[in-house]
Homo-oligomer: A and B are copies of this chain.
Amino acid sequence: MAGGGSARGKRSRVTLRDVAELAGTSRSTASRALSGTGYVAEHIKERVQAAADSLGYVPDVSARTLKGRSSGVIGLLVSDLRNQFYAELAAGVEHTLSSEGYQVVLVDDHGSAERAVDAARAFLAMRADGVLIAPVGRGATELLVEHGMPVTEVDRRSGVRGCDVVTIDSRAGARAAVDHLLALGHRAIGVVVDETFWDTGRDRLKGYRAALRAAGVTAGRRHVLDLGHTARPAQEEVGRFLDSEPTLTAVFAANNVVAELVWLELKRRGVSVPDQYSLVSFDDLPWMRMVDPGVTAVRQPVFAMGERAAGLLLERVRRGGGGRSVSDVLEPELAVRDSTSAPRG
C-alpha cells in the first residue's frame, strides 16, 4: 500500500539520503531513479522505488524549488469567495490547474487593494510559478510583473501591461440586457451598480448608455444608482432610488450582488414583477431560475473563464513568462425568463 507502515509520525522526516542508504545507492542515483530523469538501471530503479515506498518518502518541494526548479504552485487572488461568482471562477481555475499537476494557493482579498499587494508579495516569496488575479487595483499586478512573475488577470483588467487578461464582454452583455428591455417597450430604465472603479462596472454602464442612445432614448443621469459611494445600507438605498424615480418601469442590475439587493427590495415592497417592474441581472446565479418569476439574466461563462485564464497562464509559464500579452474577451448571453415583460400602463 501507499506509504507502507513503517513511517512513524513526527520523528525527523525521511529524506532522500535515507532512501539511498536503504537502497544501497548514492543520493544522486536515488534522485534520478525517483524523478525519472537521466540514466539508471532498471533493477536499481525498482530497488530505490521500493525503499522510498517502504519508508514513506515524500520529496521536499522546498528543496526542489530552492534548487531552481518549479515550485508547482500557482497563486489565485479573488475578491470574495462567498460570492458564487468567485467560487465558480476558483473552481474553473482549480479544475485545469490541478489536472496539470499544479497546486493552487488561494487568497481572498475581500476587495482590499492592500491585502492584494500582501498576497502578491506572498506569492513572490513562495516562488509561485504564476499568478491569477481578479485585480482590485494596479498595485498587485504591478509588483508581480515587475518581478517577472507570469500573471493573468481574470474578470477585470487593471491596465498594467505585461500580463494576459481574460474578461467577459461587459459592454455587450449590458447592451443585450438593455436592448431586451427596450424591445419590450421600456423607456424609463434604471441601472444599479455597486462600483464604477473597474471596467466591469464602467463597461456595464457604458453598455446601458449605448443601448439607450441607439434607441434614441435620453439616458437620465438620475436613472443611474451607484451604490459604491453610499454609506447607508445598500438595500435601503435601492428603496430610496425607486421612490425618487417613480417613472421607472425596469431595472438593470449590474451584477449578482446588486440583483439580489434589488430583488429583495422589490419583494419587500410587494410590488409585482414583471408587471410593476421588469428586472434584468448581469450574471446568472442558480437562485435566479428558482425564484418566481425567474430572473432574466446575462449569463457569463464563469467556470470557462477560470479554465481559460488558467490555460493562458500555463502557456505563459511554459514559455518563461515572456511573449505577447493575449487579451481574451468571452461573450455572455442573455437568458430570458419571466422577470421581464412589456411595461405597465
Which B residues are in CB contact (< 8 Å) with A60? 66, 125, 127
Q: Does A105 touch B at the CB level, under 8 Å?
A: yes
Residues in A48-70 with C-beta less than 8 Å from chain B = 56, 58-63, 65-66
CB distance from A322 to the nearest CB of B (A): 8
Number of copies: 2
Interface residues on A, range: 35 or more
Q: A94, B106: Cβ atoms under 8 Å? A: yes
Q: B125, A10: Cβ atoms under 8 Å? A: no
**Chain B residue at smallest Cβ distance from A263:** B290
Q: Does A292 touch B at the CB level, under 8 Å?
A: yes
Q: Does A91 touch B at the CB level, under 8 Å?
A: yes
Which B residues are in CB contact (< 8 Å) with A290? 260, 263-264, 267, 287, 290-291
Q: Which of B8, B81, B122, B263 contacts A103 (CB 8 A)?
A: B122
Q: Does A148 touch B at the CB level, under 8 Å?
A: yes
Q: Does A275 touch B at the CB level, under 8 Å?
A: no
CB distance from A321 to the nearest CB of B (A): 7
| A190 CA to B55 CA, complexed, in Å | 50
Q: B117, A107: Cβ atoms under 8 Å? A: no
Which B residues are in CB contact (< 8 Å) with A9? 145-148, 162
| A59 CA to B91 CA, complexed, in Å | 30
Interface residues, chain A, with chain B CB atoms under 8 Å away: 2-3, 7-11, 13, 56, 58-63, 65-66, 71, 73, 81-82, 84, 87-88, 90-91, 94-95, 98, 103-108, 115, 117, 121-122, 124-127, 139, 143, 145-148, 162, 260, 263-264, 267, 286-287, 290-292, 321-322
A-B contact pairs, 30 of them (CB 8 A): A3-B143, A7-B147, A8-B146, A9-B145, A9-B148, A10-B321, A10-B322, A56-B146, A58-B147, A60-B66, A61-B62, A61-B127, A62-B66, A62-B71, A62-B127, A66-B66, A73-B105, A73-B126, A81-B88, A82-B87, A84-B84, A91-B108, A98-B115, A103-B105, A103-B126, A104-B106, A104-B107, A105-B106, A286-B287, A287-B287
